[in-house]
Amino acid sequence: MRKKELADENSVFHYYRKLIELRKNYEIIVYGNYELIMKEDTRVFAYLRSLGEQRLLVICNFSDEEAAVSLPEEFFREDAMCLIHNYNDSLQQRHSRLLPYEAAAYYLQKK
């Protein structure tokens, strides 16, 4: 690995480090119940996890085109937190579009 990649906080190396850290810090990622959503769209891989009062949404666009999405409304509340995102947090509306190769994970603690 090159020094430049290690120094770049936006590198793939650092992205994977953050994913590993999230897995260690959020039990829902490992132990949460899994529910596949948006099954009909072959470009998008999206799923929900739930564990007690916690919810997690993971959504990935695996194509080189934008993809329209309609996501669970609960993840667009103010207390929903973006855990990781490979673009600026661009997914702001329930009915929105994913950019090409966009991936994100959103966490919500139900009240």
If you average pLDDT over residues 83-104, what whole number do you get? 77
Residue partners of 12: CB distance under 8 A and separation at least 6: 5
Q: Which CATH class for the 32-109 domain?
A: mainly beta
- Residue 94 pLDDT exceeds 60: no
Residue percentage of the chain with pLDDT more than 70: 89
Cα angle vertex 99, ends 109, 46, to 5°? 45
Q: Contact, 87 vs 59, CB < 8 A?
A: no
**Token reading at 47:** 């799923």
pLDDT in tens, 27-56: 999 999 999 999 999 999 999 999 999 999
In terms of phi and psi (left: phi > 0; alpha: psi -120 to 50; beta: otherwise), the region of 101 is left
